[in-house]
Amino acid sequence: MGVVVAVLSLAPDLHSAWQISLIGFISALLIAVYCTVGSGIALAHKDDSVEYGRPEDYPVGVLLSFGSIIFAYGYHTMMPDIQASLHDHSTTDAHGDMKKATTVSYVIGSIAYLCTGLVGYAAFGATVNGEVLLSLNDVLPKVAMYVIWVFVTIKIGTEAAVFNQGAFALLRQS
């Protein structure tokens, strides 16, 4: 994984690394779709032992979920570096472009999280793991899970490369 991140980080700047970001975006969408479809398969084959309702450790689960979402969707920490790398010298255009990109990304991310969470809860009930992929481990075949873990690895690798670009840009400025 380290070698992949190192190679992806060789892009000269974020403006030149849009393909890396696109691959990460596609992987993130595939993960959300995979979780939703996998939960749908589990829902179609569910038994009567699934219990709905509020889990005993509900407050702790909610707080843990916030950490997972923040870790999985850390785009907001990169916004200043991304905007600085746009090579758009007109401040008005740069701010408008970033506002559009941020709005679209948060809308897509929110819809993906909502769909995944709702279908995961419908399939597994109150026992659904905060990380829906871990609940799918018991339902889907091993080969199917290997495919999704490859997408998770790609997503993490591309995110690391983009974060590295932000650090490199900061080093160049100092």
- Range 131-155 average pLDDT: 87
Q: What pLDDT is stored for residue 77 in this prediction?
A: 61
What is the value of pTM for the model shown? Answer: 0.71
pLDDT tens-digit profile of 19-33? 888 888 898 888 888
Does residue 41 carry a pLDDT above 80?
A: yes
Angle, alpha carbons 40-120-51 (nearest 5°): 105
Q: N- to C-terminal Cα distance for the chain?
A: 29
Q: What pLDDT is stored for residue 80 in this prediction?
A: 63
pLDDT tens-digit profile of 93-110? 777 777 887 788 788 878
Lookup: tokens for 8: 């992806």
Q: Is the dihedral of CA 70, 72, 74, 75 positive or negative?
A: negative
Question: 146: pLDDT confidence band, cut at 50, 70 and 90?
Answer: very high
